[in-house]
Amino acid sequence: MSQLLANVFPEESAIPDAFRITEAIEQREYLVNGEMKTWTGNLNPVLSPVFTKEGGTYKQKVIGSTPLLTSKEALEALDAAVKAYDLGQGLWPTLSVTERIEHVEKFLVAMRAQRATVVKLLMWEIGKSLKDSEKEFDRTCDYIVDTIKAYKDLDRNSAKLIEEQGFMAQIRRVPLGVSLCMGPYNYPLNETFTTLIPALIMGNTVVFKPAKFGVLLIRPLIEAFRDSFPPGVINIIYGKGRETVGALMETGKIDVFAFIGTNKGANDLKRLHPKPHRLKAILGLDAKNPAIVLPDADIDNAVTECITGSLSFNGQRCTALKIIFVHKAVVDSFIEKFNTQVKKLKPGMPWDSGVGLTPVPEPGKVEYLQELVADAKKHGANVVNENGGESLNSFFYPAVVYPVNKEMRLYYEEQFGPVVPIVPFDEDEEAIEYVLNSNFGQQVSIFGTDSRRIARLIDAFVNQMGRININAQSQRGPDTFPFNGRKDSAEGTLSIADALRVFSIRTLVSTKSTDENKHIISNIIRNRESAFLSTDYIF
C-alpha cells in the first residue's frame, strides 16, 4: 500500500473534537400526522464511509441506526397525508398563499438553527467535505428563500382577471394532491428539499422518505417539520424502499412521485401504481455527461473545469463529467496537465482542511470501480496517473483511464465515482455520435475557441441534451436555470420557478363577460367570498 493511502484514515484520537461522534445515534423517531412516533422494531445500522485506525487494523465507524419501518407504518403515513389533503378540501390545500408561506418561513428559521448538526452528519454519513457540506446546507436555505420569492411572484401574476373573446377568467395554480418525495444520497438534503419544499408550498401533502445514505441528518429537522406544518402535511418514514415505498405506490393514492435516483429504481416504483395516468412523475435520474475538448481549446481552462466536473465530491454528482473526449492533437498535453491537477487534490477525511478526495459511502463501490478499470485494461486502456485506482477500505484514489473505446464498460456505464475515462478522437462526428446514441441526455460540456465549430456542436446537441455548457463543467446551478434531461436522465424540469409549476396545475374560473356575470364576480372579489377568486396582491 502506498504512503498516500496509509495516511488517509485517521486514528480516533486524531478526529477534531468538534466533529467527533462519541456515541452512536440511535434514532427510533419518525413523523406521522404531526406526531413523533417511536419505533420499537428492528433498526438499520448507519455505517460511515469513515474507517478509523486501531493498531494495525481498520474499523468502519457505525455512527447510529434508523427505524426499519414496515409497510404498515408507511401506509399510516400515507393515510395521514391523504387525510390532510382531504380531496383538496383539507386545511393545507385551501390555506391562502400568504399563510402557507408563513409556515415555510417558520420551518426555515428552525432549520437554520440545526446547521452545525446537519453539516456534521453530512460529513459522517456520505463523506462530503466540511466546505461542501456547509455549501449544501446554505444552498438549500437559499433555495427555500428563493422559492418563497418565486411563489409570491407567481401569485402576484395571477391576482387579476383576464378578458378574451367575450370571456373573463382568473387562472391560478393549485396543488395536485399527495406527493411522495425521495432524494438521492449524494445531495441528501439539497436535492430532496428541491422537490419537498415546492411540493409543500404549493399545497400538496407529502410522504417523505430520506435517501439510502444521509438519513440521520434528517432527524434534527423532524421537530422543525412537526412544529411548522399542520398535522399530516409532512410525514417522514424510514426503511427499505421496496417494502415501504412499494406499498405506497400500490395503493394508487400517490398523485405525485418526486424521485431522484436511478432510472431502474424509478421504473420499478412507477409501474407499481395501478393508475399510471393519475401519477405525475418528477424524476432526476442517471447521466453520463461527456466533455468534448477541441484542438483549439484553452487547455488550462478545460483541465480546471474537467477536474471539478469529474472529481468534485469524488465524481458522485449526477451532473459530473463522466467521460472526456479529447482531440488527438491535444490529448497528451491535456492528460499531463490533468494528472498534475489530480495530484494536487488532497486525500483525507471530510473535516480535513483543504481536502479534495474522501471515502465513498456505497458498500461495494470500490470493488465496482476496480471492475470498471480492470475491464478497460482488458480492452487496451491504462491507468495513466500516479497512484491511480489504488484503494483502501472505502477510499478509491482517482483513476485516469486512457485510451477508452467502445469495447469498454466505462464508455457506457455511469461510474458515479472517481474514475475518469478519456477518449481520444479525430473527427467531431465521433463525439456527436456518442451523444446521439447514448441512453442518457442530461448535459454536455464543449471546450474550444472556434465559434463555428462550437456552434455546429451546439446545434447537434440541443435536441438531445438538457444543457450545453461552453468552456465550463456541467452543473445544476444557478438554481434559477432549468434543470432537466432527456432519455433515461430525467422526467420534468426543475428550477426554482419550474418546481412550483411541476407540483401544481393551472385551474381557472371563467364566465361570459355579461353584465350579470360581471356583477357576480365583482361581488365575490369585493366581499372576499372566495379564496381562489381573488385579486389580493401579496406584498
Give the footprint of ligand G3H on this chain (CB under 6 A): 186-187, 191, 317-319, 475-477
Specify the residue, 16 or 478, whose C-beta has the smaller distance to ligand G3H: 478
Residues 533 and 157 sit within 8 Å (Cβ to Cβ): no
CA–CA gap between residue 199 and residue 382 (Å, rounded)? 47
**C-alpha torsion angle, residues 375, 377, 379, 384 (rounded to 10):** 130
Q: How far is the CB of 494 from ligand G3H (least distance, A)?
A: 9
Shortest distance (Å) from residue 116 CB to ligand G3H: 22
Measured CA to CA in angstroms, residue 302 lies from 143, 223, 472 at distances of 29, 45, 8
Q: Residues near 186 by Cβ (< 8 Å), separated by ≥ 6?
A: 126, 313, 316, 317, 318
Cα torsion 423, 429, 433, 435 to 10°: value is 70
CA distance 208 to 259: 10
Q: Which three cell numbers stand for residue 60?
A: 468502519
Q: How many helices (H) and strands (E) does the chain have?
A: 17, 27
Q: Which residues contact 14 (CB under 8 A, 6 or more apart)?
A: none
Q: Is the bond preceding 403 in cis, omega lying within 30 degrees of 0?
A: yes
Tell the residue number behind the cell numbers 485516469, with chain if given. 400
Comparing CB distances to ligand G3H, the nearer of 317 and 365 is 317
Amino acid letter, residue 179: S
Which run of H or of E encompasses 425?
Answer: strand 419-425
Q: Which amino acid is at 427?
A: E
DSSP E strand stretches across 29-144: 29-32, 35-38, 43-54, 57-67
**Separation of alpha carbons 188 and 260, rounded Å:** 10
How remote is the C-alpha of 254 from its chain's centroid?
A: 21
CB of 321 to ligand G3H, least distance (A): 11
Pairwise CA distance, residues 72 & 79, whole Å: 11
Q: 419 and 401 in contact (C-beta within 8 Å)?
A: yes
Q: Is-contact 439 486, C-beta < 8 A?
A: no
- Output the CA angle 417-422-425, nearest 5 degrees: 150
CA angle 223, 227, 228 (to 5 degrees): 115
440, 286 Cβ separation under 8 angstroms? yes
CA–CA distance, 23 with 333 (Å, rounded to integer): 50
- The nearer residue to ligand G3H, 204 or 474, going by C-beta atoms, is 474
